Amino acid sequence: MSVRKLKPITPGQRFRIVNNFDNVESVKPEKSLTVGKKRSGGRNHSGKMTMRYIGGGHKQSYRIVDFKREKEGVATVDSIQYDPNRTAFIALIVYGDGEKRYVIAQNGLKKGQTIESGENVAPEIGNTLKLKNVPLGTVISCIELRPGQGALMARSAGSYAQLVARDGKYATVKLPSGESRMILVECKATIGVVSNSDHQLEVSGKAGRTRWKGRRPRTRPMVMNPVDHPMGGGEGRATGGIPRSRNGQPSKGYKTRAPKKTSSKYIVERRKK
């Protein structure tokens, strides 16, 4: 994938950096794999605003993505499509019996290519297999935490992890954050890096484009009054003291992970600070 900078013909295009959408087809989503998406506008059942900075946005439909990849057999990539619900691109695949499914697309996946899932599958881009069958050192994504649960980790644009070791029923995986974690070897993972790795280079260019995504303007805590936020008040550009949330919990370096969390025993090495 690549990005391009627009010429400043209008003020909104002056700083705009857009995705070229190479290999991404401009087609309507598969109707059988699409459902309506309802927006709350940040309101609860009685209409009271319970979440701030949410509202508006373009109408979207949700694409049902197959994160489990439990169907075995060879499937052909019909098209690579844009998905408004995630940063990565998705691939529409067609199995031999005619069944269609959406999956997360990996970098290098192209139309007409074949991918498969199962036990005796080659560790090639787009293929899904259990961690016990993946060669050590392989770059993987869309990783399960429990067998059959479906992919939970390394699913966003440009994300990947690396299989570094295997010992007994556990495999050690180095995650995008730098954390090393033990995962059961029966869990599945997909070979390759998640598509749209240049997503982080994109620049919106104007505030209106953020409104199209359903996000309303966010007020900085520093400019609020003391009654509204712990960091509010003061004369001029006061720092607000310790960076903390609306209910007083410190941020920027403060550890919020529960010290007795059960999954801590699976973490071999903590993420980098």
Same domain, 181 and 250: no
Predicted local distance difference test score (pLDDT) of residue 22 = 87
Asked if residues 103 and 69 have their Cβ atoms less than 8 Å apart, the reply is yes
The CATH number of residue 231's host domain is 4.10.950.10
Domain co-membership, 11 together with 101: yes
142 and 37 within one domain: yes
Measured from the Cβ of residue 8, the count of other Cβ atoms closer than 10 Å reads 12
Q: What is the DSSP letter of 4?
A: E
First vs last Cα of the chain: how many Å apart? Answer: 30
User: In this structure, is residue 170 part of a structural domain?
Assistant: yes
Model pTM? 0.90
Question: Is residue 18 situated within a structural domain?
Answer: yes
d(CA 61, CA 112): 26
Q: State how far the Cα of 51 lies from the Cα of 54, in Å rounded to an integer.
A: 7
Residue after which a domain boundary falls, among 199, 214, 242:
199
**Tokens 């003391």 correspond to what residue?**
226
Q: Are residues 188 and 60 in the same domain?
A: yes
Per-residue pLDDT of the chain (273 residues; tens, 9 = 90+): 689 999 999 999 999 999 999 889 999 999 999 999 999 999 999 999 999 999 999 999 999 999 999 999 899 999 999 999 999 999 999 999 999 999 999 999 999 999 999 888 999 999 999 999 999 999 999 999 999 999 999 999 999 999 999 999 999 999 988 999 999 999 999 999 999 999 999 999 999 999 999 999 999 999 999 999 999 999 988 887 889 999 999 988 888 889 899 999 999 999 877
- Could you tell me if 166 and 258 lie in one domain? no
- Note whether 137 and 223 are within 8 A (CB): no
Domain holding 101, by residue range, is: 3-199
Classify 214 in phi/psi space as left (phi over 0), alpha (psi -120 to 50) or beta.
left
In a domain, 139, yes or no: yes
The predicted pLDDT at position 172 comes to 97
Q: Answer yes or no: do 36 and 73 share one domain.
A: yes
Whole-angstrom distance, CA of residue 166 vs CA of residue 181 = 11
pLDDT at 239: 80
Is there a contact between 154 and 197 (Cβ–Cβ < 8 Å)? no
Tell me how many domains the chain contains: 2
Task: Tell me, yes or no, whether 139 and 173 share the same domain.
Answer: yes
To 5 degrees, how large is the angle CA 60–CA 64–CA 69? 155
Residues 157 and 250 both lie in one domain: no
